[in-house]
Amino acid sequence: MRIEVQNMTKRFGAFTALNNISLQVQTGELLALLGPSGCGKTTLLRILAGLEFSDAGSIRFDGEDATGQNVRARRVGFVFQHYALFRHMTVFENIAFGLRVRPRSQRPARVEITEKVTNLLRLVKLQELAQRYPAQLSGGQRQRVALARALAVEPRVLLLDEPFGALDAKVRQELRRWLRRLHEEIHITTIFVTHDQEEALEVADRLVIMNSGEIEQIGTPEQVYHHPANAFVFHFLGDVNLFRCRTENGYPLIIGHVTPEQPGEAEENVAEKAFVRPHLFNISTQAHGVNEIKGKVVHINPAGPTVKIEIMSEWGEIVHAHISQEQYAELQLCPGAQVFLQPKQMQIFPD
């Protein structure tokens, strides 16, 4: 189903949760709403579901106005952050609920319900647990029950609120790959909310990056990662080092760190910020020339696929650099060593 959101605004008292948001979701798409907590992403999802209503703006489902429709009329599948499974019902009954509460004329026969629930249990790989209660399940299993329950009513769109938020790292990895595969299988329009950029980049077809009630950028994982629209997006999508720079002969030159105040230096040609990802530094123990940052190694963490190094720069701030294990072995760095950092790639945004 195609969804169009137009000029949507939502306030809670004095707090503006959504400020004039417009957005289009394509049929069959897997879309992530990504942003820091309090950015309005969950509010947007709840408004799409009809659990909350906007103060201004409209929603269209397949071109049809749905702005004033309640949650029952919208036929959306909503998966809650903490699953909200019915604790007094078995897994089977949880999944069957949406079918059992239908008006008699539309309610499937008992046999049909059993068959449908069994199929869904197979889809989420929980056939053996049909008679268990939610309290007897692990977090990942509860998540899958919640998903099956939402799918049972054949929703037009699936909405997931922080679907993996409450799970431990390992289960999370598995479940998000599984969700990706499931989406390829059933191809239902899906929108999920997350604050985890890695999760959004890995799972979604497109990302909507939000910040304090507004959309910063919409795009594919590749677009937003490699062509961020602004400093916020770049910053939010991964670790960064932030420098002040000056343009000289058309080239940006790092001249220090961004600090709150630097008296007398707010001139016209220093009003730019340069962002450098930690893995995009050349590190060497000798000076090479232009655009280098001189510093001393203060901490090394060699555990993991890359070696993480903290360097105190000549301007007195910490710079984070990630290098490969091979390079680390070659350089033979130790705390206190003097190094020179040369950015391989910088992203410049006007201040």
Instruction: List residues near other proteins by CB under 8 A.
Output: 12, 15, 17, 38, 42-43, 49-51, 70-72, 75-78, 80, 82, 84-88, 97-98, 101-102, 134-135, 149-150, 152-153, 166
CB of 212 to other proteins, least distance (A): 13
* Residue linked to tokens 């692990």: 138
Cα(144)–Cα(163) distance, rounded to whole angstroms?
A: 10
**Nearer Cβ to other proteins (87/170):** 87
Question: Residue 307 CB: number of other CB atoms within 10 A?
Answer: 21
CB of 102 to other proteins, least distance (A): 6
Cα(127)–Cα(101) distance, rounded to whole angstroms?
A: 23
- Could you give the angle at the alpha carbon of 247 between the alpha carbons of 242 and 250, nearest 5°? 130
**Nearer Cβ to other proteins (165/238):** 165
CB of 47 to other proteins, least distance (A): 12
Pick the closest to residue 81 from 164, 189, 179 (CA basis): 164
At residue 174, what is the residue type? E
CB of 37 to other proteins, least distance (A): 10
CB of 70 to other proteins, least distance (A): 8
**Nearer Cβ to other proteins (150/179):** 150
Q: What is the DSSP string of 192-250?
A: EEES-HHHHHHH-SEEEEEETTEEEEEE-HHHHHHS-SSHHHHHHTS--EEEEEEEETT
**Nearer Cβ to other proteins (210/341):** 210
**Nearer Cβ to other proteins (47/309):** 47
CB of 84 to other proteins, least distance (A): 4
* Residue linked to tokens 């249990």: 121
Query: 342: which strand partners?
Result: 282
**Nearer Cβ to other proteins (83/275):** 83
Residue 264, judged by CB atoms within 10 A of its CB (0-12, 13-18, 19+), counts as: exposed
Question: Residue 93 CB: number of other CB atoms within 10 A?
Answer: 16
**Nearer Cβ to other proteins (86/251):** 86
CB of 108 to other proteins, least distance (A): 13
